[in-house]
Amino acid sequence: MKLLTNLPVIILSGLCLNSCSNQNTTVAESPENIKAEIEKILQTQENIYGSHNEEELKKFAATCEDSLVFIGGDDGGMMVSSNAYVHDLADGYTQRPHDRSYRIYNNTVIVTSVHQGYKLFGKDTLYLNARSSKVFVKDGKDWKMAYVTYAPLPVIYKKPGYTNPENFAGYEGYYTVGPGITDTVTVSGGKVFSSITGSEKAELIPLDDSTFIGEGYFGKAVFSRNAEGKVTHYYFEWTDGQQINFMKTK
């Protein structure tokens, strides 16, 4: 399983910063003026999360370079559409961005901040704290966002524990959390593997006979049995106690 994992935050940062260096040289502005202009842009971008209407979307798109690169979201995907960016970053804010910090250069500004958003999985709502980093470049007389990353904040996990592979019997099968999201769980060679719809098979590392983590996990998967010992589902639990149920279909 690779929910909210493997975000390639660094892959294109060099590409973006290199492209920023090719901007036309302009007369240096004061950092105070630059920061004030960027803050106006950030306010415009944040307004879209309260409405998601076409008028606000057009205002948002006008703050972006045509070649905007976005990396992040729940699947770690990469896209270049500012329109898609709005709807993929989060289904909504529960906290506005805060704890912002700025790095201001002549033709480049890097802004990083923390916020809390939510994602909808079937009937479940996942709340997550995340950090976003945005790169703005000077395009003529205007500042435009050219690159943004979005990533859940890291957490610390326990070390793998001793387990008896015989207790993994019954875990294999198909699990679903909602339309279009299916996890295929297999057991081979005393190991458990997971493959969420469209992703490669990945090993689940046991903490005990029923609790597993994976590479880059931001939580843990816990398999559950009924009174007869039959596996009925597993729930994915985040470190703050939130749970999303994956029901076994066969």
72 within some domain = yes
Kindly state the DSSP code that residue 209 receives in the 8-state scheme: S
Q: Considering 122, 152, 182, which residue would you say is the last residue of a domain?
A: 152
Bridge partners of residue 160, in order along the sequence: none
Tell me, yes or no, whether 204 and 119 share the same domain: no
**Cβ(117)–Cβ(130) under 8 Å?**
yes
* Domain that includes residue 200, residue range: 165-248
Indicate if the pLDDT at residue 91 is higher than 70: no
The domain total for the chain is 2
Tell me, yes or no, whether 134 and 18 share the same domain: yes
Helix (H, G, I), strand (E, B) or coil at 137: strand
Residue 76 has a pLDDT of 57
Helix (H, G, I), strand (E, B) or coil at 138: strand
201 within some domain = yes
Alpha carbon distance 204, 185 (integer Å): 9
Residues 38-90 pLDDT 10s: 999 999 988 887 666 788 888 888 999 988 888 865 555 677 877 777 666 56
Whichever domain contains 225, its CATH number is: 2.40.128.50
Least confident of 75-84, 126-135, 184-193, 230-239: 75-84
160 within some domain = no
Residue 177 has a pLDDT of 85
Residues 22-39 pLDDT 10s: 444 445 689 999 999 999
Tell me, yes or no, whether 55 and 119 share the same domain: yes
Report the percentage of the chain scoring pLDDT > 70: 81
Tell me, yes or no, whether 102 and 19 share the same domain: yes
Tell me, yes or no, whether 169 and 120 share the same domain: no
Indicate if the pLDDT at residue 110 is higher than 70: yes
Tell me, yes or no, whether 32 and 116 share the same domain: yes
| Burial of 1: CB neighbours in 10 Å, binned 0-12, 13-18, 19+ | buried
Instruction: Give the chain's mean pLDDT.
Output: 81
Alpha carbon distance 15, 201 (integer Å): 30
Q: Cα dist. 193→18, 175, 185, 211 in Å?
A: 40, 13, 6, 13
2 within some domain = no
Whichever domain contains 133, its CATH number is: 3.10.450.50
